[in-house]
Structure 1
């Protein structure tokens, strides 16, 4: 059995998870695809938040994802990120 190198791990396929509710629940039917993708990227950051102990006094996890970084990751402009985040907020998926 061959050992797996760091390079293999770094270049192997990794995935973002999209909650089925975003695709199947009629409530989210009109949520734009880029907002669903942004939610998946944001949701993925919870792992980093937990490892950094970014948890408030109520036990709620918060995350740090600058608009510039999200814009870069989605390949959109900063104004588009603001619109996406507003849409996520309207659907109760993001609180700032």
Structure 2
């Protein structure tokens, strides 16, 4: 039987946000739930970019997130993660850049153009 939360226990869990547009937007209606979840995890990982200096020559943010670490973090099979990464890349939500002998850089793309222009302008 599951226990209730009491008092400050309600703040004990970290969370990953899934952008509402991914859940309700018509442009993403055919994107699998697993891919939406992975995209949310990748967005969360972007918070580490500054700490690790994950910026390219054009100041674009990328992340380094090996498949084995994703498997460990979200308990998806390697096959599912690869399928989701391919789906996210097909949708234009990420871009993977593999340099020979180095881990892949994953560029998590901003799908919200309206918001992007608000931040720039």
The interval holding the TM-score normalised by the smaller chain is 0.7 to 0.9
Residue 17 of structure 2: aligned partner:
17
> Relative to structure 2, which stretch is displaced further, 50-59 or 67-76?
67-76
Deviation at 1:13, TM superposition (A): 1.9
Looking at structure 2, the residues matched to 72 and 15 of structure 1 have their Cα atoms a distance apart, in angstroms, of 16
Residue 3 of structure 1: aligned partner:
none
Residue 68 of structure 1: aligned partner:
68
For structure 1, the 5+ residue unaligned runs are: 1-7
Looking at structure 2, the residues matched to 16 and 76 of structure 1 have their Cα atoms a distance apart, in angstroms, of 16
Looking at structure 1, the residues matched to 20 and 51 of structure 2 have their Cα atoms a distance apart, in angstroms, of 25
Looking at structure 1, the residues matched to 13 and 78 of structure 2 have their Cα atoms a distance apart, in angstroms, of 28
> Relative to structure 2, which stretch is displaced further, 70-79 or 57-66?
70-79
Write the mapping of 1:1-96 to structure 2, written as runs, cut at 5 A: 12-96=12-96
Secondary structure of the residue aligned to 1:18 is: coil
Looking at structure 2, the residues matched to 75 and 52 of structure 1 have their Cα atoms a distance apart, in angstroms, of 24
RMSD after superposition = 1.5
Give the TM-score taking structure 1 as reference length.
Answer: 0.83
Moved over 4 A (4+): none
Residue 3 of structure 2: aligned partner:
none
